Amino acid sequence: MHSIVPVILAGGGGTRLWPLSRGHYPKQFLKVEEDATLLQGTLLRLTEQNRWPDGFGPPLIVCNEEHRFLVGEQARQTGLPVGQILLEPLGRNTAPALTCAALVACDGGKADPLLLMMPADHLISDPAEFRAAIAVGAQLALEGRVVTFGVVPTTPETGYGYIQVGETLTGSTPQAHLVQAFREKPDASTAERYVADGGFRWNSGIFLMRAQVWLDAMTEFQPAMLAACREAVAEARTDGEFLRLARAAFEACPSNSIDYAIMEPLAAAAPQRTGVVSLDAGWSDVGSWSSLWEVSARGDDGNVLRGDVCASIPRTAWFLLRAGS
């Protein structure tokens, strides 16, 4: 029986949604929704009746060591049990973060769980549909595929990368396909063509695979990165609820994203080892003030007001939000 271990990547650097989001307080810690921060929402969207569903293990969270107490406290506020919190001494992008989590989850070869990798700073407005997509993805991952989730596009967005879908794997909803190719962020005319074509999805940055399948792919495509991660985990030290990755080894690790390090070469060399599940669950990466305004509840005047606000302004796209409100 393969359990599913959520791997939450909470290492964002606070470069978007400034001035609320900043280096010491990135957007994953903001309370964008009324009742939860983005990090807490990432944890809670997987739960049923405020507990982990059957088949799910406590999540691993990967974050920068400077944010460890923020992560620990916000996780505790959910009331959910959390597994280890892995501390990165510095950022090395998503591929090393997932690789270190996979090594920890494998427990020296004693386990081989499914890993559900999710960024901590996204919004999903339909958790039930998201869990349905995860169920489809889990079946594909058990077949040995590295699975990603492609958001069904609603607009010709130029700020997202796209996934071109290939052969159909499941005809039921949510649909799943092989990955034909990854496409960089397009210009406006190309984005319009992608949406009209119907065979493209926004790249959500969410992935699901068996831990050992991921490590095998790292062995094949990124052996130097894997070796550095193995050393960083082998020499890690426990500090209360935290696991501190070894600084020297992790600092020597090449920096790369999951897409560039594994998914693009894998899709090019062996597309039958990939899968993309169509996700239509109200996803947003909340990457700008305009996208935050779009996903927020607005008053009759078109404004989004949060916190202690006194407003007398015309209909506009202003978003007034107080940190921590």
Name all domains of the chain by residue range, CATH numbers in brackets: 4-287 (3.90.550.10), 299-325 (no CATH)
Helices and strands, number each (H, E), in the chain: 11, 15
Task: Give average pLDDT by consecutive 10-residue segment, the chain, 325 residues.
Answer: 88 62 71 85 88 90 95 95 95 97 92 96 93 96 97 93 96 92 96 96 97 98 98 96 97 97 97 97 74 59 65 53 44
Who's near 206: CB < 8 A, 6+ residues apart?
A: 116, 117, 118, 119, 122, 148, 149, 279
Q: Give CA–CA dist 206/120, Å, rounded.
A: 10
pLDDT given at position 32: 76
Beta-carbon neighbour count of residue 116 at 10 Å? 23
Q: Give CA–CA dist 285/302, Å, rounded.
A: 21
Q: What is the CA radius of gyration of the chain?
A: 19
Q: What is the DSSP code (8-state) at residue 263? A: I
pLDDT given at position 182: 96
This prediction's pTM: 0.88
pLDDT given at position 91: 93
Q: Taking a C-beta distance cutoff of 8 angstroms, is the pair 304, 286 a contact? A: no
| 211-221 helix and 223-234 helix, angle to the nearest 10 degrees | 130
pLDDT given at position 324: 42
Q: What is the DSSP code (8-state) at residue 57? A: P
Q: Give CA–CA dist 67/36, Å, rounded.
A: 18
pLDDT given at position 283: 93
Cα distances from 249 to residues 171, 257, 288, in angstroms, run: 45, 18, 34
pLDDT given at position 305: 62
pLDDT given at position 325: 41
pLDDT given at position 1: 45
Q: What is the DSSP code (8-state) at residue 67? A: G
pLDDT given at position 24: 64
Who's near 207: CB < 8 A, 6+ residues apart?
A: 98, 115, 116, 117, 146, 147, 148, 149, 258, 263
Q: Taking a C-beta distance cutoff of 8 angstroms, is the pair 97, 225 a contact? A: no
